[in-house]
Amino acid sequence: MALRRVTVFGGSGFIGRQIVQRLASQGVRVRVAVRDPIGAEFLKPLGDLGQIAPMKVNVMDEAAVARVVDGADGVVNLIGILYEKGRRTFQALHVDAAERIARLSAAAGVAHMVQISAIGADTNAAAKYARTKAEGEAAVRRHMPAASILRPSVVFGPHDDFFNLFGGMSRLLPVLPYYVKDGFRLVRDEQGRRAIDLGGSGGPRFQPVYVGDVADAAMTCLQTPAFQGQTFELGGPRAYTMREIMELVVEQTERSTHVVPVPFWVARVQASVLQVMPKPLITPDQVKLLETDNIVSGTLPGFEALGIEPTAAEAVLPTYMNRFRPHHRNVILRVPG
């Protein structure tokens, strides 16, 4: 599918900037619909003069959304939040905004739309985040039946809020916790002796997916009519338990931080307190999310169907996690020559 003009909602974000860069490299004119167009001006050098246009758009404003999708060949919706604050609720942004974008895009004659959702999107999920992601998918499909929906697992890359968060914690704290449901229980070893199993199975599982691969998937869906109307689950080449994620962080940061199990009830207590922070480290709804594995189900197509080989976390993490290493381990010795 030949693209001339594409509107990207949330295009200044972690995934959005990658998609904007790819669109610009192919000569596409890009409208970047954001709350803060001044803060999104860093995107302009990714394209030619005037090719990338950050535009102030309130996605709750029908007229503003209609203006920014008018004349577009494609639309990408990346809008999503991990916690609610004031008017920025899951319902308003995951459902109502997605419905508005799809409805007005259809009315404007937009040929195709890519909706970025999340693995675990399910109207019956315990977490409100996952329920509203599924409701947003349904709202998009009502107005744009041919929309492509991408459900990535945890997305990682240089600007992520996942490995960077744990890397920062490793620099400040002596321990990195992982939450377990089946730990702290009495078991019997091979000789029949009683023992305490603290770590259980290692906590919830994740399948981290590289941000560049997600952007490539979005581009492929935008340009390939055969992928219209399909939903794809995007996971990296390996699934990790939460314990393995923390161990990977310790390995990459080269610190002596201890990885320790914590019961889920502790997570609930922490979330009840930390949810009042301006940017909460964890909320009760996120604890509910953690109680379900964040991995591909195997019932939907994924990267293989899109012709993309997913990138391993171990191949990318050294390029940005070294910032969390002790300073003396980053010293480069130069010999006068």
Residues 127 and 178 both lie in one domain: no
Query: Structure tokens of 65?
Result: 């959304």
Whether 216 is covered by a domain: the verdict is: no
Task: Say if residues 234 and 217 touch (Cβ distance below 8 Å).
Answer: yes
Residues 128 and 178 both lie in one domain: no
**How confident is the model over 251-280, as a mean pLDDT?**
94
Task: Say if residues 59 and 97 touch (Cβ distance below 8 Å).
Answer: yes
Query: Structure tokens of 60?
Result: 């709750």
Q: What is the 3-state secondary structure (H, E, C) of 67-124?
A: HHHCCCCEEEECCCCCCCECCECHHHHHHHHHHHHHHHHHHCCCCEEEEECCCCCCCC
Q: How confident is the model at residue 328 (pLDDT cuts 50, 70, 90)?
A: low
Give the number of other Cβ atoms within 10 Å of residue 282's Cβ: 21
Between residues 136 and 337, the one the model is more confident about: 136
Number of domains in the chain: 2
CATH number of residue 121's parent domain:
3.40.50.720
Whether 209 is covered by a domain: the verdict is: no
pLDDT at 99: 98
Return the amino acid letter for 227: F
CA dist 19 and 15 (Å) reads 7
Specify the range with the lowest mean pLDDT, choosing from 26-40, 120-134, 182-196, 282-296. Answer: 182-196
CA angle, residues 244, 289, 164, in degrees to nearest 5: 50
- Give the range of the structural domain holding residue 60, as residue numbers without chain letter: 5-146
Q: How confident is the model at residue 192 (pLDDT cuts 50, 70, 90)?
A: confident
pLDDT at 334: 58
For 22-42, the pLDDT digits (tens) are: 999 999 999 999 999 999 999
Residues 257 and 198 both lie in one domain: yes
For 94-124, the pLDDT digits (tens) are: 999 999 999 999 999 999 999 999 999 999 9
What is the 8-class DSSP label of residue 311? P
CA dihedral 224, 227, 231, 232 (to 10 degrees): -60
**pTM exceeds 0.85 for this model:** yes
What is the 8-class DSSP label of residue 144? -
Q: How confident is the model at residue 190 (pLDDT cuts 50, 70, 90)?
A: confident
Q: How confident is the model at residue 164 (pLDDT cuts 50, 70, 90)?
A: very high
What Cα–Cα distance (Å) separates residue 255 from each residue in 81, 156, 160, 183, 301? 31, 20, 20, 25, 38
Classify strands 205-206 and 240-241 as parallel, antiparallel or unpaired.
antiparallel
